[in-house]
Structure 1
Amino acid sequence: MKTILKPTLLATAVILLCITLTSWNSNPPKADTWEHLLDLELSNWDAFVGAPHHTVAIEGYEKGNGMDEGTPLGLNNDPLNVFTTVELDGEPVLKVSGEIYGAVTSKKEYENYHLSLMFKWGEKKYEPRLDKPMDSGVLYHAIGEEGAFWNCWMQSQEFQIQEEDCGDYYTIAGTGADIRAIKKENPNSDWDIFIYNPNSDYKQFKTGEDGRCRKSENYGKLEGWNQIDLVCLGDKAYHIVNGKVVLVMENSVTYNENDVAKPLTKGKIQLQSEGAEIYYKDIKIRSVTALPTEFAKQL
């Protein structure tokens, strides 16, 4: 005997099936199950290349200071191979030339996660940072349009990766957070220096005001591979360098055009190109509900 669904029942069944499939596709990986994000095809990432510095040998694009002037090359348009992959010792490695500012951007958004990766510095540097420390960064909770900041990066929070400054926090394009920090006078600048200290009072950091908090101590290595861990739980984020918790930020927010704050607890992940050659490998992520024990015992 055939069973014939009435139109209303059929529509309901289709809706339930769609909800089920959507729920299944959006479920995060199980806790302690790592999802590897890097392969030789960069299949989990898009590449956004910013505007070239006037010293870059490329034609057909308006050049400028390498930051907020000129015309970005845009999404997945990378004729100079700023972002490429190589295979080393049987595993994929992301090579970032640094020649033009930009980023690879995860195709997915993430929240409540533990991101783990390794990086090491290359040898080359480019304008506009030829005379400055080698620089890159992990941008997290990235939202909105590509190139929102300096024609290069999305609105986001930054885990700084830079010589001597690995683990610092920066606000990017209208974000903010609260961090326990001590103030240090800076006679060489109009900007005060703030340093993470878990025993200090909270200080609010915000784009356009005090937008940077330095890590507690420097654990970054100039030679060889460095281990980076970023743990995001709700509105908190933990910056961890070579196994050491160097900064904790709370109350992660984004500000709208009326300067009204809204919680910022999820988004895409970006790995920056910022004037220096750098290599990334073993990029992986897992869902978490608590700070892993090896980090929690440090706090």
Structure 2
Amino acid sequence: MNNIQIRVLCVCILSIIISCSDFPKDEQQNITKEVQWKYLIDEELSNWDTYLSFKHQKGYDGSAPKNEDGTLIDPIGMNKSEYKVFTTVKEGEDEIIKVSGEYYGCLISKEEYKDYHLQLKFKWGDKKWTPRESLLKDSGILYHSIGPVGAEHWRTWMLSQEFQIMQGHTGDYWNQATSAIDIRAYTPEYIMNPMANEHQDYLHIGEGGPYKNYCLRSNDYEKLHGEWNTLDLICYKDKSLHIVNGNVVMILKNSRYLNSQGEMVPLTAGKIQLQSEAAEIHFKDIRIRGLDSLSSNYKTYF
């Protein structure tokens, strides 16, 4: 390398250092932590277990499904790859998970996580199945998932908190089983649902609360059908943020659940479930990284 090449290289390195120093402190931290992302998609779905329960019918009431003779129907169970509900395909450089939605079920992370930033991209497929043929396409990210599968209404998913993925409703919250959380939201009136809003006080949503188990996101930021959407889930201690295409749509804190002794206890860690819920959906670029703290920007929401 001659003297001119050395000088050019030094100028390039100096430019990079100066450009990075121009970022706010939080952004500098994000740049530093970029290498800490763990990617959760590969061809074998090696980071996930799969679970399938049932093909639910219209009018299902949450009871244990039975045959015509009244005997209980067993769920399909864990890692039944022959059903082809969860498959992977390579599209260019992208490894994509295709969820057919034909059976109720989920991908379940093999690891448990706490204090993290989860990011993924999704887009809808075209198919819907009973009982959702005339309803909106539906899925979700279930976080802080603990205990057995089949703990909630549909006899499919673990006790958890839900970051809803639904047409026009991506970012909504549902509790699962006995979970509860407090959300900045408008107080509902009559038949209205609570709606998230960053300027409102916190409402108790879920187990033991006066507003049942559901809260609407603050606004609809989902892209058109067939386009990829980016979702970010920030979880730190008992707090979480639901972020849709860069927009914070829900602010949540005091994550908790009712345990078998009838006590409300913190719910701040667990597995991650991605739902199969009678609608075709595709996922890509699923990645996660640990958080040592909330950035100053995120702290302002709480």
TM superposition score category, shorter chain reference: 0.7 to 0.9
Distance 1:109 1:71, change over 3 A: same
2:89·2:96 contact (CA, 8 Å) conserved in 1? yes
Verify: 1:146 aligned to 2:149, yes or no: yes
Root-mean-square deviation over aligned CA pairs: 2.2
Residue aligning to 1:203: 203
Listed as ranges, the gaps of 5+ residues in structure 1 are 1-29, 56-63
Residue aligning to 1:166: 170
Q: When the two structures are superposed, what TM-score results if normalisation uses the length of structure 1?
A: 0.80
1:49·1:78 contact (CA, 8 Å) conserved in 2? no
1:51·1:73 contact (CA, 8 Å) conserved in 2? yes
Say which of 170, 189, 195 aligns to 1:185: 189
Residue aligning to 1:280: 283
Distance 1:227 1:270 in 2: 17
Say which of 215, 219, 222 aligns to 1:220: 222
Listed as ranges, the gaps of 5+ residues in structure 2 are 1-31, 66-72
Distance 1:263 1:182 in 2: 24
Q: Which moved more, 1:204-213 or 1:39-48?
A: 204-213
- The residue correspondences of 1:1-299 to structure 2 (distance < 5 A) are 31-32=33-34, 33-53=36-56, 65=60, 68-69=64-65, 70-149=73-152, 150-187=154-191, 192-207=192-207, 210-223=212-225, 224-292=227-295
Query: Secondary structure at the residue paired with 2:82?
Result: coil
2:178·2:206 contact (CA, 8 Å) conserved in 1? yes
Residue aligning to 2:11: none
- Higher-helix-fraction structure: 2
Q: CA deviation at 1:293?
A: 6.4
Residue aligning to 1:15: none
Query: Secondary structure at the residue paired with 1:279?
Result: strand
Q: CA deviation at 1:249?
A: 0.5
Q: When the two structures are superposed, what TM-score results if normalisation uses the length of structure 2?
A: 0.80
> Aligned AA for 2:203?
K
Total equivalences in the alignment: 258
Task: Summarize deviations over 1:49-98 as a string: whole Å, max 9, x none.
Answer: 0112469xxxxxxxx95965242100112432111111111221000000
> Aligned AA for 1:196?
A
1:66·1:128 contact (CA, 8 Å) conserved in 2? no
Residue aligning to 1:16: none
Task: Summarize deviations over 1:237-274 as a string: whole Å, max 9, x none.
Answer: 10000000000110000111343111111000000000
Distance 1:194 1:66 in 2: 24
Task: Summarize deviations over 1:169-198 as a string: whole Å, max 9, x none.
Answer: 1110110001121123354xxxx4101122
Distance 1:292 1:243 in 2: 15
Query: Secondary structure at the residue paired with 1:79?
Result: helix
Distance 2:298 2:202 in 1: 21
Distance 1:264 1:171, change over 3 A: same
Matched residues, percent identical?
A: 45
Distance 2:83 2:142 in 1: 23
Q: CA deviation at 1:291?
A: 3.5
1:52·1:66 contact (CA, 8 Å) conserved in 2? no
Q: Which moved more, 1:193-202 or 1:274-283?
A: 193-202
1:51·1:66 contact (CA, 8 Å) conserved in 2? no
